[in-house]
Structure 1
């Protein structure tokens, strides 16, 4: 039976999404790496998982209920970091509120949606990827010195989480779930 591919993330507002996309395009133009362009700018909360289409309404209902209990919080981005030697990302300053959101989400995924331990994201380091997978070690060594010293500052209020769905070619923002408004 065919299964759809999903993941759950915090997606920044459009202006910041475009800024991050331009960084990804710059890396594509300079180094030929384009895999990160297959998804909008985001901070992953739950790595990709597969479910049959009939299960989708359960996912949507659980995420709607969970998000409705969360409070918006600030996200500050500052500079770049890496998972050497294959990933370059925009650095998230204060991990605490995102880690707390992730912990609550894990509880919902395992408790209400029967995610297995294998499916759950365990190692969690909030970040916004701009180069991955097709960034070879050699290209990383070439690109990283430029981004290591480069400045970038931005902030936004995380006021929702997003269910992204793969369309066979790339990831699309499928459903957004708003947090409780103050």
Structure 2
């Protein structure tokens, strides 16, 4: 009997290219100044569903489900402002209003659990919308230095969220696998 091939996926909201570039600059600063490069393994994003493993055989079902789900959603504005952290390893750009993202997530959960064979333990029940610029490999010492600088740094931006994205891990990095437009796009 052969083992079923599985892939690692996650679902996210991704800003337009210009804002992605600005977040990338912050991630590169974290790498160069604070030796934290892990966040560079994915494009700037707000996680809607944490990484989960799924077999190749349900990939088409996942794509179909996300496409149908996205086609029913309205676009909305996301504003980001300043920085915050999850001590002692994560520094991120703050999302100003979590409400529309949490509402979108709440609508997505039933589709993931009933239409796609994703284990209930793998489905994120709660989310804290943010855009990570440093994670995992940020040492406690470097976290304290970086947070000392970033906690009062200003950063303001916004974007129209008009789609969601399925990302797939290629063994080293996260690739944008597919974009699913919201209605009227």
TM-score range, shorter chain: over 0.9
Name 1:47's counterpart in structure 2: 50
TM-score of the two chains, using structure 1 as the length reference: 0.98
Name 2:118's counterpart in structure 1: 115
Give the drift of 1:55.
Answer: 1.1
SS in 2 for 1:101: helix
Please give the residue correspondences for 1:58-77 in structure 2 after superposition, counting only pairs within 5 Å. 58-77=61-80
- Determine if the alignment matches structure 1 residue 30 to structure 2 residue 30: no
Give the drift of 1:107.
Answer: 1.2
SS in 2 for 1:118: helix
Please give the residue correspondences for 1:154-173 in structure 2 after superposition, counting only pairs within 5 Å. 154-173=157-176
Name 1:79's counterpart in structure 2: 82
CA RMSD, Structure 1 to Structure 2 (Å): 0.9
Counterparts of 1:12 and 1:149, CA distance in 2: 23
- Determine if the alignment matches structure 1 residue 103 to structure 2 residue 106: yes
Give the drift of 1:113.
Answer: 1.1
Number of residues paired by the alignment? 182
Give the drift of 1:122.
Answer: 2.1
Name 1:177's counterpart in structure 2: 180
Counterparts of 2:103 and 2:52, CA distance in 1: 21
Name 2:151's counterpart in structure 1: 148
Name 1:2's counterpart in structure 2: 5
